[in-house]
Amino acid sequence: MWNMSLSALAMQAPDPDHEVVTQFEQVMLVALVFVIMFGLGAGLTPRDFISALRRPWGLIIGWVTQFAIMPFLAFLLVLGLILQLEPEFAAPLALGALLMGSVPAGTTSNIFTFFSKGNLGLSLMMTTNSTLWAVVMTPLALLVYGNRFMPADLDLQIPIDNIVVTLVILLVPVAAAMVVRRYSPNVGAVMELMGGFFGLFFIVFLVATWVPRNWILLVGTAWQVYAVAVGLGLFGITIAYWVARAIRLHPKNARTVGLETGIQNGPLAIAIVLLSFPDSPQLGLLLLVPALYSLFIVIVATAVTLYFRRANLGEEQKIPSLL
Amino acid sequence: MSELIWLEHYPPGTQPEIAEVPYRNLPDLLRQAAARYADTIAFTHCMPNGMNGSLRFGEVDRLADEFAIYLREVVGLEPGDRVAVQLPNCLSYPVVAFGILKAGCVLANTNPLYTASEMTHQFNDAGARALVIIDMFADRLPEVLPQTQIETVVTVRISEFLPSVIAGIIRATQRYWSRTVPPITVEHTPLQGALAAGRERRQGGSDVDAYLAGIDLDSLAVLQYTGGTTGVSKGAMLSHGNLVSNTLQMLAMCGSYIRPGEETVLTALPLYHVFAFTVNLVGFYYMGARNILIPSPRPPSNLKRALENYPVTWITGVNTLFNALLHERWFLEYPPHALRASAAGGMALHHSVAERWREVTDTPIVEGYGLTESSPVLTFNPLGGTVKDGTIGMPVPSTEVRCVDEAGSPLPPGQAGELVARGPQIMQGYWQQPEETEATLKDGWLHTGDIAEMDEMGYFRIVDRKKDMILVSGFNVYPNEVEERIVELPTVREAGVVAVPDPKTGESVRAYVVADDPAPSEAEILAHCREHLTAYKVPRGVWFVDELPKSPVGKILRKELRKDVAAGSPAAKDPDKRSTTGPSGV
């Protein structure tokens, strides 16, 4: 999925040498996500999903934070920050930000949930759930908050194939891994370890490749845009986490809800922009918040994960893990 | 024998006496079991992430033979020589333990988490000539070895006998990620090398059975160290006969609940502890069961994969373990579906835990009782008979148990006195401690130091440890009773009660409490106690701690709490300001 984000972002880059994401990189990224999801799935049993269904509170609250709080948060950030900018820049930037707040959770959220010792079963269910709902909820949220920024002739395109691809990448390897694990716990455990290992590599890879490619973009952007791109993820995670804690979800599930809510499907937002505004002269501005968000969410989520892990220390074992 | 009133209440099919032991020694019993179940899986080692490896009965038997040959012919040990073993639960444990016994040597079980000075003391006391140790703790050896008579060190990897890829990953993780394998600077032989040497000799015609020529039921098999009733660490001498008898006695109380060749038992307690040693390692092995070995049961989520991946039919454990599992959501939602029964020992099984366990798993849980000095099982609630919660059950076959007064005279039912016991499982004495032995074994009766009473059916109930009793203004307060009351509160996870010196009452009661979420207040706990306990039994203070000090099997160590009292407790009273440096055990 990230191949799209990279190729889309490459359009912003001034140097034509850096524009194209190679076929190799695309294949590698998809393969990487596939391996990671396989690894995450190898740690799960059908029980984990049934448990999440039995206590649907996590799913319900996740739905609320995802489609009620996140778009509203994006709206507040737009009001408070983006509208300070010149109107000709503000409208496309605002639309990009609102879109970013209205898309469902991305696959990256599962990886961070895994590392922050959250509830992976719940995480996967939430991603699946919000991705399916996105077909209805993303346009609806945009309509509610984004009306004033939209061009009159806009034909908003929700890329169904993109949504299908997200679900396939999410569910196929997970299901396959669960079957493998059922028959060989050893192979499952190795895949899980490798998934975690590749997950770390993936996060580093994203940051390491994105920054050099897009440094010009970083230099020329107003601080308000940064604040929105960072704030959307950071406040999204924080608010959702505390909402979940407030209704007394288990801390493990609250961590999951927080990460699921704050971590959006950046590539999906980018795809929506590309499909809905194919010839817009403002394409670059429309893509700016989704692109910056996609970078900073990796950093924000890493910081939050480290915090969650530290907060989680009390529950962790004090004896050497292998004894 | 007229006072053995429990015999009338034995479940049908349980004989009052075990038949004459049909085995020459413990290896004889082990070998026959291995022959019967040669191709079935005997042991499976399950890591917290599900990585696993297994050994079949035939393989265990062959590998143990090879280790025996190594000890006798390569190391040159003699029958009766002590071999210290410091291993967590892993596939090497049965190979090494059975190998030592087959060599006619004496196994000295040692806690792998011991410090250098504890190791030195125990090895010297046992006069160990060889040591088998997990490599993770071998960094203590340069300090320990020069002070002991140990000539041979065999090192074991936790990943031994696991599939090679898995073993490689675990090894790499230990070495580069968790850095739990220190370099070993002393001369040592890796277990695989020792086994290879033994294998070579065997092909050259070494005869393992010959090593056991002089070993009979009266020969010493295991030195099992214990603080005992007086607190000084000493080795209980358990003979081959003690262990074989106790295995048969224990099984007699389980009736048809242990089906030959069909059980899968979760072995979360360490095998170096006498309970898991006799019940799981020997007892269940003898019955052809598959032991699922858990290297570390803490945190309890470490048991999740084992319970998901294997059809566990039996769980043996202590109150702490059952209680911990009952606080795990994954366990409550999916209790092991194949479970048939659970056995608790080592410490009192709380009534609330037992009831909850039955409710959640829909299977019986029975409490037994015993000491290191009795191999360990003395009493058991009979599966298939009447199970009485809050009691330790009735004496196992061929065992006499009574409560006696200070003068040693038997007391009638309903009167509390020290529990004493006699039977084929009672140790031969403490190793090289004639005075301690004399104080504990009197005319063949083992004096347990536990205060108990017997009911009209011959079921016993432990009131408390003699030495844990708290004397408040001349009244006896038994910590067990107070702890039981406190943990009835759903907001309390665990409690430990000890005496605090008190200028007015001599001693007063203090409770250490591990709170659940949401935490209870001190006032709530005290109010609950006041409602159910006489005034002098109500704690004068409640101290909230993150965890209670526990023994390797999870027994709450009141003596550590008393140390905390003496040190002017660092634990905080306010649950929000809990100490992280509070008491913590191994």
Task: Convert the pLDDT of each residue in A99-136 to its tens digit.
Answer: 999 988 887 888 888 888 888 888 988 888 888 888 88
Question: What is the rounded average pLDDT of the residues A64-78?
Answer: 92
- Which residues make Cβ contacts (< 8 Å) with residue B245, sequence separation at least 6? B18, B21, B375, B398, B423, B424, B425
Query: Is A1:A267 a contact under the CB 8 Å cutoff?
Result: yes
Higher pLDDT residue, B116 or A314? B116
Task: Write out pLDDT tens, residues B104-115.
Answer: 999 999 988 888
Preceding amide of B299 cis, omega within 30 = yes
* pLDDT reported for residue A23: 60
Chain B residues in contact with A196 by the CB 8 A cut-off are: none
Q: Which SS3 state, helix, strand or coil, does residue B579 take? A: strand
Q: Which of B110, B147, B146, B131 is nearest to B189 (CA)?
A: B131
Q: What is the DSSP letter of B577?
A: G
Residue B309, domain member (yes or no): no
Query: What is the per-residue DSSP string for B405-445?
Result: -TTSPBPPTT--EEEEEESTTS-S-BTT-HHHHHHHEETTE
B48–A250 CB contact, under 8 Å: no
Q: Which of B250, B297, B310 is nearest to B274 (CA)?
A: B250
CB nearest to A319's CB, from B169, B298, B330: B298
Query: Is B43:B55 a contact under the CB 8 Å cutoff?
Result: yes
Please state, in angstroms and rounded to a whole number, the distance separating the CA atoms of residues B17 and B14.
9
Q: Give the other-Cβ count within 10 Å of B35's Cβ.
A: 11
**Distance from the A86 Cα atom to the nearest Cα atom in chain B, whole angstroms:** 50
Task: Write out pLDDT tens, residues A155-206.
Answer: 677 777 777 877 787 788 889 988 998 889 899 888 888 877 787 777 777 7
CB nearest to B178's CB, from A181, A315, A321: A321
**Average of per-residue pLDDT values in chain A:** 79
B51–A317 CB contact, under 8 Å: no
End-to-end CA distance of chain B: 43
**Distance from the A133 Cα atom to the nearest Cα atom in chain B, whole angstroms:** 28
Does A19-305 carry CATH code 3.90.1150.10? no
Chain B residues in contact with A188 by the CB 8 A cut-off are: 50
A45–B308 CB contact, under 8 Å: yes
Please state, in angstroms and rounded to a whole number, the distance separating the CA atoms of residues A195 and A31.
11
Chain B residues in contact with A321 by the CB 8 A cut-off are: 48, 178, 180, 296
Q: pTM here? A: 0.79
B299–A320 CB contact, under 8 Å: no
Pull the structure tokens for residue B347.
């410490």
**Distance from the B168 Cα atom to the nearest Cα atom in chain A, whole angstroms:** 11
Closest chain B residue to A51, measured at CA: B333
Residue B479, domain member (yes or no): yes
- Which residues are paired to B496 by β-bridges? B512
Q: Which SS3 state, helix, strand or coil, does residue A220 take? A: coil
* pLDDT reported for residue A15: 37
**Distance from the A9 Cα atom to the nearest Cα atom in chain B, whole angstroms:** 36
Task: Write out pLDDT tens, residues A28-38.
Answer: 767 777 888 88
- Is 70 exceeded by the pLDDT of residue A18? no
**Distance from the A124 Cα atom to the nearest Cα atom in chain B, whole angstroms:** 17
Query: What is the per-residue DSSP string for A3-58?
Result: HHHHHHHHTT-S-GGGTPPPHHHHHHHHHHHHHHHHHHHTT--HHHHHHHHHSTHH
Closest chain A residue to B517, measured at CA: A250
* pLDDT reported for residue B231: 53
Please state, in angstroms and rounded to a whole number, the distance separating the CA atoms of residues B69 and B199.
8
Element (H, E) at B45: strand B41-46
Chain B residues in contact with A323 by the CB 8 A cut-off are: 88, 112-113, 134, 136, 158, 180, 295-296
Read off the CATH number of the domain in which B556 is found: 3.30.300.30
Half-sphere exposure of B444 (CA within 13 A, CB side): 7
Go through chain A and tell me how many residues it has: 323
A322–B334 CB contact, under 8 Å: no
State the best of B111, B136, B296, B545 to mutate against chain A, taking most chain A CBs within 10 Å. B296
Query: Is B495:B547 a contact under the CB 8 Å cutoff?
Result: no
Please state, in angstroms and rounded to a whole number, the distance separating the CA atoms of residues B152 and A130.
63
Cβ-count burial of A181 within 10 angstroms (0-12 exposed, 13-18 middle, 19+ buried)? Answer: buried
CB nearest to B52's CB, from A47, A186, A321: A186
A317–B302 CB contact, under 8 Å: yes
Query: Is B84:B122 a contact under the CB 8 Å cutoff?
Result: yes
Chain B residues in contact with A322 by the CB 8 A cut-off are: 47, 136, 158, 170, 173-174, 178, 180, 295-296
Q: Domain limits at B504? A: 469-577
Q: What is the DSSP letter of B464?
A: E
Chain B residues in contact with A186 by the CB 8 A cut-off are: 50-52, 163, 165-166
* pLDDT reported for residue B188: 94
* pLDDT reported for residue B143: 92
Please state, in angstroms and rounded to a whole number, the distance separating the CA atoms of residues B547 and B479.
18
Please state, in angstroms and rounded to a whole number, the distance separating the CA atoms of residues A1 and A29.
7
User: What torsion, rounded to 10 degrees, do the Cα atoms B453, B454, B455, B457 define?
Assistant: 170
Q: Which of residues 290-319 of B touch A (CB under 8 A)?
A: 295-296, 298-299, 302, 305, 308-309
C-alpha pair distances (Å), A307 with each of A91, A115, A123, A292, A302: 35, 11, 18, 22, 9
* pLDDT reported for residue A194: 83
In degrees, to the nearest 5, what angle opens at C-alpha B66 toward C-alphas B60 and B69?
140
Please state, in angstroms and rounded to a whole number, the distance separating the CA atoms of residues B542 and B512.
6
* pLDDT reported for residue A239: 94
Chain A residues in contact with B516 by the CB 8 A cut-off are: none
Q: Which SS3 state, helix, strand or coil, does residue A147 take? A: helix
- Is 80 exceeded by the pLDDT of residue A16? no
Q: Give the other-Cβ count within 10 Å of A89's Cβ.
A: 16
Residue B522, domain member (yes or no): yes
Residue B121, domain member (yes or no): no
Q: Which of B186, B135, B189, B132 is nearest to B157 (CA)?
A: B135
Query: Is A128:A170 a contact under the CB 8 Å cutoff?
Result: yes
Pull the structure tokens for residue A158.
């929700």
Q: What is the DSSP letter of B393?
A: B
Question: B517's torsion region: left (phi>0), alpha (psi -120 to 50) or beta?
Answer: beta
Low-confidence ranges of chain B (pLDDT < 50): 1-2, 229, 570-586
**Distance from the B357 Cα atom to the nearest Cα atom in chain A, whole angstroms:** 20
Task: Write out pLDDT tens, residues A40-59.
Answer: 888 788 888 887 788 788 88
A316–B166 CB contact, under 8 Å: no
Pull the structure tokens for residue B210.
């010959």
User: How many domains is chain B partitioned into structurally?
Assistant: 1
Which residue bears the tokens 């038992």? B265
Closest chain A residue to B305, measured at CA: A185
| Helix/strand/coil percent split, chain B, to 5 | 35, 25, 40
Go through chain B and tell me how many residues it has: 586
Residue B501, domain member (yes or no): yes
Residue B36, domain member (yes or no): no
B546 touches A: beta carbon within 8 Å: yes
Please state, in angstroms and rounded to a whole number, the distance separating the CA atoms of residues A270 and A7.
10
Query: Is B65:B185 a contact under the CB 8 Å cutoff?
Result: no
CB nearest to B295's CB, from A45, A51, A323: A323
Pull the structure tokens for residue A30.
């998809």
Residue B492, domain member (yes or no): yes
Question: What is the rounded average pLDDT of the residues A272-296?
Answer: 82
* pLDDT reported for residue B581: 30
Task: Write out pLDDT tens, residues B520-573.
Answer: 889 999 999 888 887 888 999 899 988 888 877 777 888 888 888 877 754 444
Please state, in angstroms and rounded to a whole number, the distance separating the CA atoms of residues B367 and B357.
12
Which residue bears the tokens 């065992």? B399
Higher pLDDT residue, B21 or A73? A73
